[in-house]
Homo-oligomer: A and B are copies of this chain.
Amino acid sequence: MSWIVLHIIGIIAYTASGALVAIESKYSFIGIFVLGLTTSFGGAIVRNLIIDAPVSGVWESNTMAIVFVTLTLLVFLPLKWVHHWKRWGLFLDSIGLATFALQGALSAKYAHDHLGLILLSAMFTGLGGGMIRDILAGRKPLALKEEVHAVLTLICGLCTWMGWIHPIQLTLVVFCIVTIRMFAVKFNWKLHLPYC
């Protein structure tokens, strides 16, 4: 139950992040819809194309409904309401990161149960949508600059591979991931590698 609620929050957060990037890029309502859809479905589409899974599996009707309602609300909401998003944006975005990565890892686990594929799937589902969103907005993909971001999706993949797939365990993983992300941003954690 709690896992499903978290997943819905994650989908709304990713959709809204796409819409906001479109608004910042001065795109029309078409851009808002395209970037919203891209952010919420793009990662899963690329993942399925790469692992030869049918793309039609991505178009799940409940998810579609959530995305379309979110986008329609955002298009008609006054702009100043939208700006309130930013205060909560990072927190909600972290929930999206965790739930998307876990959902990607789960779908890979049911299909193959191969560690490499689970990690790849977790990473693509968690980060891919945002990367395509940034490219469509004419920006350098943020996901390629951040570090902690991507490591967290791999942790989600690892947890799934170890069999933590009960909804309560998934909820716990989301909680940990969000906490680590918020600390990482607050204290500006970085890995120090030679090429830097």
Q: Does A113 contact B (CB under 8 A)?
A: no
Q: Does A163 contact B (CB under 8 A)?
A: no
Q: Report whether B30 and A150 are in contact in the complex, using a CB–CB cutoff of 8 Å.
A: yes
What residue in chain B is nearest A50 (Cβ atoms)? B55
Q: Does A172 contact B (CB under 8 A)?
A: no
Q: Report whether A55 and B52 are in contact in the complex, using a CB–CB cutoff of 8 Å.
A: yes
The interface stretch among A1-9, A20-28, A95-103, A175-183 is: A20-28
Q: Oligomeric state, in number of copies?
A: 3
A140 to B140, CA, bound (A): 12
A196 to B74, CA, bound (A): 11
Q: Does A32 contact B (CB under 8 A)?
A: yes
A27 to B136, CA, bound (A): 19
Within 8 A of B (CB), among A142-196: 143-147, 149-151, 191, 193-196
Total interface residues in chain A, CB < 8 Å:
48
Q: A52-B56, A144-B30, A147-B30 are in contact. Are A76 and B139 (CB under 8 A)?
A: no
Q: Does A91 contact B (CB under 8 A)?
A: no
Q: Report whether A52 and B51 are in contact in the complex, using a CB–CB cutoff of 8 Å.
A: no
Looking at A28, A31, A49, A54, the one whose CB has the most chain B CB atoms below 10 A away is A28
Q: A56-B51, A147-B29, A194-B79 are in contact. Are A140 and B137 (CB under 8 A)?
A: yes
Q: Report whether B143 and A30 are in contact in the complex, using a CB–CB cutoff of 8 Å.
A: yes
Min distance, Cβ A151 to any Cβ of chain B, angstroms: 8
Q: Does A90 contact B (CB under 8 A)?
A: no
Q: Does A131 contact B (CB under 8 A)?
A: yes
Contact with B along A35-54 (1 / 0, CB 8 A): 10000000001000111101
Residue contacts A-B, CB under 8 angstroms, 8 given = A26-B145, A27-B144, A28-B150, A49-B49, A49-B55, A75-B195, A77-B195, A137-B140
3 residue pairs, one from A and one from B, having the closest CB atoms: A31-B144, A138-B140, A30-B150
Known interface pairs A78-B195, A136-B144; 19 further A-B residue pairs with C-beta atoms within 8 A, sorted by A's residue number: A26-B145, A28-B150, A28-B191, A29-B191, A29-B193, A29-B195, A30-B143, A30-B144, A30-B146, A34-B144, A35-B144, A45-B49, A49-B49, A51-B55, A52-B54, A79-B194, A136-B141, A138-B139, A138-B140
